[in-house]
Amino acid sequence: MKKLIIVIVSIVFVSLVAPNGYCAFFSSKPEIKYLLAVMPVENLSGDDNYNDLLASSSDILFKNIYKKNKFRLIEMDKIGDIIGEDFVSNMLYNKDQYLKAVKSLGAEVLLYCSLRAVNVEKTSRGKNKIKVIVDARLVRLLNGEIICMENVIQVSKMKNLDISVPLNIALKKLAKFIARSAY
C-alpha cells in the first residue's frame, strides 16, 4: 500500500508540479528593447575618397542591426527631417543638431561608428590584400555611459580595389557584436 501511495504521489508530482517548476525556472523575463539611433559612419581614415562609400555604410549598419531584433530603431529619415538635411547621402551633418534631434525623438542609446583605416597591399599572386579597420561605441544618452566598444579588422583578398566588400563584412560583424553585448 505504501508503494502504491508513493507511486501515485510521484505521478501527481511529475505531471502537475514539475512542469510548472521547470517553466518557472527556465522562463525568461521579457526583453527590454532600447530605442537606438545610428550616427552616420565617420571617416577617420584620413582619405576623403571613402566619404561617398561611407554615406551608404550607415544604412548597411542600420539594416544589419535591425535584423538582429535587439533594439527599437529610429528611422534615419526622421532624424534627417528634423535636422533639415539628408545625412545618409551628405556627410556634412552637424553633430550637435543630430544629437538634439535624436534626443527629441526619445532615443536612449546612440551608436557611433567610424572607419579607422584602409590598407591595401599587393600579394605575391597579384591580388590586393585589403585591410579595413572599423570601430563602434554604443553610448547611453542619459549619462554618457559606454555600454560596449568594439573594433573589427576585416582582411579580404580581391582582384580589384573595391573596399565596399570588406567594409560591409566588417559592419555586419559589428552589428552582430553590438546586438549580442547590448544587454
Residue ranges covered by each domain of the chain: 1-30, 32-181
**Chain centre distance of CA 83:** 23
* Comparison of pLDDT for 75 and 170, the residue scoring more: 170
The residue written with cell numbers 567594409 in the block is 167
Phi, psi of 39 (to 5 degrees): -70, 150
- pLDDT tens for each residue of 4-15: 777 776 776 666
pLDDT for 173 equals 92
The CATH homologous superfamily of the domain defined by 32-181: ABC-type transport auxiliary lipoprotein component (3.40.50.10610)
- pLDDT tens for each residue of 39-98: 888 889 888 888 888 877 888 888 888 888 888 888 776 676 666 655 544 444 567 777
C-alpha separations of 175 from 38, 60, 102, 136 in Å: 11, 10, 20, 9
Q: What pLDDT band is residue 149 in, cutting at 50, 70 and 90?
A: very high
| Beta pairing, strands 71-73 & 146-158 | unpaired
- The residues, any chain, with a CB within 8 Å of residue 57's CB and separated by 6 or more, are 41, 113, 115, 167, 168, 171
H or E stretch covering 9: helix 2-12
Is residue 152 within 8 Å of residue 176, measured between CB atoms?
A: no
pLDDT for 92 equals 47
CA distance 33 to 73: 9
Residue % of the chain over a pLDDT of 90: 17
